[in-house]
Amino acid sequence: MTVATSPRPLIDRLPEVRGELTANAPLYRFAWFRVGGPADVLFQPADADDLASFLAARPDGVAVTVLGVASNLLIRDGGIPGIVIRLGRGFGDIAVDGETVRAGAGALDIQLARACRDAGLAGLEFLSGVPGTIGGALRMNAGAYHREIKDVILSAEALDGTGSRHRLDPEELGYTYRHCRVPDDWIFVSGSFRGHPDSRDAIATRMDEISQAREASQPIRMRTGGSTFTNPPGHKAWELIDQAGCRGLTVGGAKVSKQHCNFLINTGNATAADLEALGEEVRRRVHAATGIRLHWEIRRIGIAGEAA
């Protein structure tokens, strides 16, 4: 008689690491929306070498998802199967050398902007208006206030799915609007950027102007996920949403911001399903009113639940 045995838990099948492995780890606490289910396993590597060794030795066929601060991300209510990798302190170093600055993928965009300001290096002020980490900025060619990563990038370093390192120049990154052509399973670990000398006071003034503009136009103190939809060619997403009558529209605990209607808000008790259903309803209404199909800028990942 053969006795069926249960498969070993995923965490017990993973290689030893210097960082931290956590089973059934809650992810909502990392997300700006404050929603989302757990990860099967959360891995927070100690540094890039720890991450490379882990990728080289991980079991075949196990999904891997990378998180930064989840500022432009919707984690679905059923959670994320497989391994979620979150880059933390070991990826947060920033170093300025003349007109070049190198930053780890875990560094916040605003931290890089501030480091450049303190060093009298101009050109990266726009990053003070981009919520998130350098890793996310490199992946999606993040931008704001008429500048994008492609305007300042010198090179980036990434690990492929086997843990091998790659140094990528701007042509290899292949940046277009909110997109790069680097394979989805590669993980950015750092980037090098160029600036130009300027006075600290002038740089600080421009950063203050960006901060004031964000405060006046965006619901930055709410539980939100940044810009929801990309701007269609020749149009602004928020104007199309407003034209379709979606300002203030709600589904469950999710709401279209009245301050900036390309932002969705968790009013306090929204689920990820509420937020996604609201976004899809906005897309439907915009297409019905204008004939234009909006495309999500916010990444939606994980197993779906049901809207309220």
Is 199 noted as a catalytic residue in this protein?
Answer: no
Q: Which of 125, 276, 281, 297 is catalytic?
A: 297
Are 296 and 272 in contact by the 8 Å Cβ rule? The answer is: no
Is 211 noted as a catalytic residue in this protein?
Answer: no
Q: Which of 71, 128, 190, 227 is catalytic?
A: 227
Q: Where are the beta strands (DSSP E) in the chain?
A: 20-26, 38-44, 64-67, 73-75, 80-86, 94-97, 100-104, 121-122, 143-144, 147-148, 153-159, 165-168, 187-194, 196-197, 223-224, 250-251, 254-256, 264-266, 299-301
Are 68 and 135 in contact by the 8 Å Cβ rule? The answer is: yes
Q: How would you label 33-64 residue by residue, b for 16+ Cβ within 10 Å and e otherwise?
A: bebbbbbbbbbbbbbbebbbbbbeebeeeeeb
Is 297 noted as a catalytic residue in this protein?
Answer: yes
Q: Which of 178, 200, 247, 284 is catalytic?
A: 178
Catalytic residue numbers? 178, 227, 297
